[in-house]
Chain A
Amino acid sequence: MSNAAAIAAASVAADPGAAAVARIEALRAQAAQARRKATLGYGALLLLCIIVAAWINEVHPRALAAGIPRIGEYFALTVPKLEWAQLFAGPRTEGSLAFWFYRADEWGWLLLQTANMAAMATLAGTLGGFCLAFPAASNLAPRRWIYVAARRMAELCRTVPEIVYALIFVWAFGVGPLAGILAIAIHSVGALGKLFAEVVENADMRPVEGVTAAGGNWFETVRFAVLPQVAPNFLSYAILRFEINVRGASVIGFVGGGGIGQELYHVIAFNYYEEVSAIVAMIILCVATIDLVSEHLRHRLIGTARI
């Protein structure tokens, strides 16, 4: 027996806690090693996946090098010809801002329609997500199959891209905002249903037990024990979704879903370069404004949330 081992053995005999320390330390080392192995394994797997994905998608360094300058070319084409002297002249003078944005009123209207689509879709998505969230939360679902059904339902709504829903609805209801709203709403139901369910899963269960023990049924438990806890977070997620939906609504028009996207698609397809940049500028301005306002709102809400 080596000297160190002898000392260790002696100290174990003297101090019964040392045995526990040794046991737990050994277990911890084991767990740490297992974790390291797993990290290495998954890391290698991830690298392999990235290489395969790049190969499938034809992401060759050479293609990248050749393509990047062309992005600049397109960008240069869309830059309007503005002239200092005429910058604030009327819409008939070439080189003025008004000339660049000569259809600003029409585009403004379309942007309003787009924001409106996003708002409608968010409202519908929030209602749907709200109904799905409680059965889809593992701590509240009354039956296992209800939980599974609610989860799958949310996934179905979420995993099919909005564009695909939009294509289907354009076919069914014709070109226009209705198809866009429905498509975005369904996607929102799925996304919000999942996010809301996760908020519910984080709720404090003691009030739930309190209301249950008082003889409350499932709906009453949700209403009185859970809703007061989760309401601020629900609202905050709904507003975040509105931001996302404004962006979604701007492109849904590409497939006939109404709003500014339809116009953008049109000017891109006809190579009206300066109009492309004008519309994109307006979209960015509008989305950024909505983002700023809603972020401000959300932060005030989160201040009142407590999860």
Chain B
Amino acid sequence: MLEIRNLTRRFAAVTAVEDVSLSIPAGQLVGVIGRSGAGKSTLLRMINRLVDPSSGSIAFEGRDITALAGAALRRWRADCAMIFQQFNLVGRLDVLTNVLVGRLNRRASLSSLLGRFTEAERALAIRTLDRLDLADTALQRAETLSGGQQQRVAIARALMQSPRLILADEPIASLDPRNAKVVMDALRRINREDGLTVLCNLHTLDTAREYCDRIIGMQAGRVVFDGPPAALSGEMARTIYGVGEAEQAALESVTSTALRA
């Protein structure tokens, strides 16, 4: 259970996230939508504390997250794995090492720094890659993979963290429709099979409708919609994206990631 209360974050003049309160039960796949600058990234980055809140609180299973520091903070970051739009892999390292980075927090630092991982850890990493159909790329440099493959490596790295929660910031925004589908399918699978809570920023309405159990709509830092996909009316979507009716029809088809026959 993730409990967010009156969360606010200000950057100089702009209030990126304003007074957001949410409670997300374990195992949900939640999509966060909203136009550019609505504060979606800021919200996610506050949850794993890459950005610190200006006020408000975040609690995970009763524990206050906003006050963590040092080793406890790193431990929390390992618990809520982050997936980025730009993948954020280390391009010059091989895929296997990139995946093993997800293990750093669960092991002794000194042997990590020497680049020594145990056979069991490597086996787990390869198994995780295999789950995502990537085992054969394990020894390739990460920068040589395609975007969709890189994003799946990032998901493998996230899984290696044995996380309680997965935060995905526009995981498919730099992918073509086919790769977008592969990545979203992978996210849904780990949500269903591992029972992981997934919080996912999305740019495309129909992806959110298709994959999510619950949709949160943000506008100018505030939550303006929170409910199941079925409850998201066309009018609501127009409010969230701040567009007219004709524009919305165009929007849904332009931003669609669905592959229609």
Contact = CB atoms under 8 A, between A and B. Distances in A.
Main secondary structure of the interface of A (DSSP, over half): helix
Interface stretch (B25-33, B75-83, B178-186, B241-249): B75-83
Contacts of A245: none
B86 interface: yes
A224 B90 contact: yes
Interface residues of B, number: 33
Contact of A214 (B86, B91, B105, B109): B105
A62 to B, nearest CB: 60
A212 B93 CA distance: 16
B90 A215 contact: no
Contacts, number: 86
Given A206-B84, A210-B89, A214-B157, A224 B101 contact: yes
Interface of A: 204, 206-207, 209-217, 219-220, 223-225, 228-229, 306
B104 interface: yes
A63 to B, nearest CB: 56
A204 B90 CA distance: 9
Nearest to B105: A215
B88 interface: yes
B236 to A, nearest CB: 30
Contact of B104 (A206, A207, A214): A214
A212 B78 contact: no
Describe B's contact surface by its main secondary structure: helix
24 contacts: A206-B88, A207-B88, A207-B91, A209-B84, A210-B84, A211-B90, A212-B77, A213-B48, A213-B77, A214-B104, A215-B75, A215-B76, A215-B161, A216-B74, A216-B101, A216-B105, A219-B113, A223-B112, A223-B113, A223-B115, A224-B101, A225-B90, A228-B91, A228-B92
B154 interface: yes
B8 interface: no
Given A206-B86, A206-B88, A211 B104 contact: yes
A210 B109 contact: no
Given A206-B84, A210-B154, 20 more contacts: A207-B88, A209-B88, A210-B84, A210-B90, A213-B50, A213-B81, A213-B88, A214-B101, A214-B104, A214-B158, A215-B76, A215-B105, A216-B74, A216-B101, A216-B104, A217-B74, A219-B113, A224-B90, A228-B91, A306-B92
